């Protein structure tokens, strides 16, 4: 949970980081550059999986993720100390990219070790249930990052938070890291690994055995293209892109969306455990694939429904008047009768005639964010919760599925690579790719085609290639 907190405060603070570490002349380019920096942490995760996966299979599970914790914690703390672009120029974004790369490298070795450590301690027939608590930690880390950010915002002015307060969530993480490090030093090594070591059966070259033999490489490819790629895009769409979509494309007040997400995530998190426990009884395959299939089929109607809740009619009359004066009427020199979304575009209807329509572009062109009514915000929260159900179905059972797929002597290496390519590359780049599609097409819904295509393809391949296995260590 602490590692995910460290990793996600960067994404949660992306709009402010864009103004701190990148040139301010082009806000859209700065935001995309920030998302690219966020994406670097994901792209490099497979390399961390290879480096630390090998260590985990040779040296052991426990000591490997002690090392990853220290790398992650140190990098997060350092981000809070970087001088801004105005102070050190181009060195600011360079340092950000380097530290994000170190975070990604550490996380690449962390997840596999944690999932395997828990699974190898779990009783037979309960691996899904036990590892599901690992699956909740990503969402809890995101939840706590939002809570800390909102607490900081509430304790200071907006100007102070933008100037220096945003650094606090990065700096306080060092306390959490120290607590986690102390706990980990007291933990025993995995019983399965201790047995392998005692019998001299640990792998001498886990990279060669994992990827140099077709029998195991085939399992790696099945895990990637039949499970983790689709699961990755579903996870990041349902929890990260949904938030960015509301803030950047629907222009809803960021704090309002972030406060709304806290109860949604709290209510939804136990579903990871629920679906993982179901997978212990009925198998992992179809629970995971059903979650991905529902996501691929329902994203478009869900996001259109979210946009409808952010329609002009959802704003209060006072906010409508403010928005019209500052953003639209002044530019067009006309009175406005109605404002609405249509095919991802903002359309303005003049009072002179009921049929005269003028397109003025996509939502980000309207700059003053406004607050939704409680009912409209509740409906958007419900729509995000539905997406979280898809996330829990796809993600809840996947740790146990991956652990059971590979033999214990090369499990750390074999499991980590497809997980982190699926989640780090396919999933982690979702916000950047989706937002780039929106910018290039001018349609706020075009970014959804990326997760829809990846999730749909994964469902087809997984249905064909994955075979349910008997539960085993």
Considering the chain, tell me which residue range(s) the CATH 1.20.1250.20 domain(s) occupy: 2-310+372-465
Half-sphere exposure of residue 419: CA atoms within 13 angstroms, side-chain side: 32
User: DSSP letter string over 65-133?
Assistant: HHHHHHHHHHHHHHHTT---HHHHTTHHHHHHHHHHHHHHHHHHHHHHHHHHHHHTTSPTT-HHHHHHH
Each residue's pLDDT tens digit, 120-146: 888 888 999 999 999 998 888 888 888
pLDDT > 90: what percent of the chain? Answer: 28
Q: Is 407 helix (H, G, I), strand (E, B) or coil?
A: coil
pLDDT at site 471 = 47
Neighbours of 368 (CB within 10 A): 12
pLDDT of 461 strictly over 70: yes
Name the DSSP class of 44.
T
Q: From 42, 12, 37, select the one nearest 108 (Cα to Cα).
A: 42
Task: Work out the burial of residue 156: count CB atoms within 10 Å of its CB; fewer than 13 is exposed, 13-18 middle, 19 or more buried.
Answer: middle
Cα–Cα nearest to 239, from 2, 3, 11, 399:
11
pLDDT at 207 over 90: no
Contact 348, 328 (CB under 8 A): yes
- CA geometry: angle at 453 spanning 397 and 275, to 5°? 15
pLDDT category at 198 given cuts 50, 70, 90 is confident
Assess if CATH 3.20.20.70 describes domain 2-310+372-465: no
C-alpha–C-alpha distance, residues 23 and 335, integer Å: 36
Residue-level pLDDT at 356? 38
- DSSP reduced 3-state for 235: helix
Query: Which pLDDT score is estimated for 326?
Result: 44
Highest mean pLDDT among 171-175, 327-331, 379-383, 435-439: 379-383
pLDDT band at 358 (very low <50, low <70, confident <90, very high): very low
pLDDT at position 391 is: 96
Task: Give the angle 54-10-67 at the CA atoms, nearest 5°.
Answer: 25
DSSP 324-385: IIIIIHHHHTS-EEEEEEETTEEEEEESS-SS-EEE---GGG--S-BPPPHHHHHHHHHHHH
**Inter-CA distances, 315 with 38, 103, 323, 324, 445, Å:** 32, 40, 10, 12, 21
Residue-wise pLDDT tens digits, 215-271: 889 999 999 999 999 999 999 899 889 988 888 788 788 888 888 988 998 999 999
Per residue in 302-351, pLDDT tens? 999 998 887 755 554 455 444 544 444 444 444 444 444 444 444 444 44
**Is pLDDT of 153 > 80?**
yes
Nearest to 363 by CA among 387, 316, 327, 389: 327
| Residue appearing with tokens 């509740």 | 378
Residue pair 343/362 in contact by the 8 Å Cβ criterion: no
Q: State yes or no: pLDDT of 473 exceeds 80.
A: no
CA dihedral over 359, 364, 369, 375, signed as positive or negative: positive
pLDDT for res 319: 52
Predicted pLDDT of residue 240: 82
Higher pLDDT, 406 or 292: 292
d(CA 101, CA 36): 11
Distance CA(146)–CA(439), nearest Å, equals 26
- Whole-angstrom distance between the N-terminal and C-terminal Cα of the chain? 25
- Residue 222, Cβ neighbours under 10 Å: how many? 19
- In 3-state terms, what secondary structure has residue 252? strand
* CB neighbour list of residue 81: distance below 8 Å, 6 or more residues apart: 167, 171
Q: Is 470 helix (H, G, I), strand (E, B) or coil?
A: coil
């Amino acid at each position: 949970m602490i590692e995910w907190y460290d990793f996600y405060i960067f994404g949660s603070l992306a709009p402010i980081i864009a103004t701190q570490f990148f040139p301010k002349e082009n806000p859209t380019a700065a935001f995309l550059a920030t998302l690219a920096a966020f994406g670097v942490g994901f792209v490099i995760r497979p390399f961390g999986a290879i480096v630390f996966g090998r260590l985990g299979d040779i040296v052991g599970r426990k000591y490997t993720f002690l090392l990853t914790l220290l790398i992650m914690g140190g990098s997060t703390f350092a981000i809070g100390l970087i001088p801004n672009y105005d102070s050190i120029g181009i060195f600011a974004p360079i340092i950000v990219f380097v530290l994000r790369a170190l975070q990604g490298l550490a996380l690449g070795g962390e997840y596999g070790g944690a999932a395997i450590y828990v699974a190898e301690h779990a009783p037979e027939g309960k691996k899904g249930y036990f590892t599901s608590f690992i699956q909740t930690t990503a969402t809890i880390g995101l939840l706590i990052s939002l809570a800390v950010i909102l607490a900081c915002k509430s304790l200071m002015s907006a100007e102070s938070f933008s100037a220096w307060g945003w650094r606090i969530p990065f700096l306080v993480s060092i306390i959490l890291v120290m607590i986690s490090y102390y706990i980990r030093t007291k933990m025993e090594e995995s019983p399965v690994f201790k047995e392998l070591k005692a019998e001299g059966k640990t792998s001498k070259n886990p990279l060669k055995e994992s990827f140099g033999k077709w029998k195991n490489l085939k399992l790696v490819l099945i895990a990637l293209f039949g499970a983790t790629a689709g699961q990755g895009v579903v996870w990041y769409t349902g929890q990260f892109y949904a938030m960015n979509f509301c803030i950047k494309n629907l222009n809803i007040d960021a704090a309002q969306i972030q406060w709304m997400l806290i109860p949604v995530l709290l209510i939804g998190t136990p579903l990871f455990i629920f679906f993982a426990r179901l997978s212990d009884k009925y198998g992992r395959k179809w629970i995971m694939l059903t979650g991905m299939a529902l996501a691929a089929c329902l994203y478009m109607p869900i996001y259109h429904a979210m946009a409808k809740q952010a329609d002009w009619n959802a704003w209060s009359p006072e906010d409508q008047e403010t928005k019209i004066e500052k953003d639209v009427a002044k530019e067009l020199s006309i009175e406005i009768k109605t404002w609405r979304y249509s095919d991802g575009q903002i359309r303005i209807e003049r009072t002179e005639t009921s049929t005269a329509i003028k397109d003025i572009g996509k939502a980000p062109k309207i700059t003053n964010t406004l607050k939704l009514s409680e009912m409209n915000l509740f409906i958007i929260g419900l729509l995000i919760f539905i997406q979280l159900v898809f996330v829990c179905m796809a993600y809840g059972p996947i740790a146990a599925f991956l652990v059971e797929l590979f033999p214990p002597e090369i499990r750390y290496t074999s499991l980590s690579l497809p997980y982190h390519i699926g989640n780090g590359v396919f999933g982690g780049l979702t916000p950047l790719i989706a937002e780039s599609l929106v910018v290039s097409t001018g349609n706020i819904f075009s970014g959804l085609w990326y997760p829809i295509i990846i999730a749909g393809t994964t469902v087809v391949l997984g249905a064909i290639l994955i075979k349910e296995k008997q539960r085993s260590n």
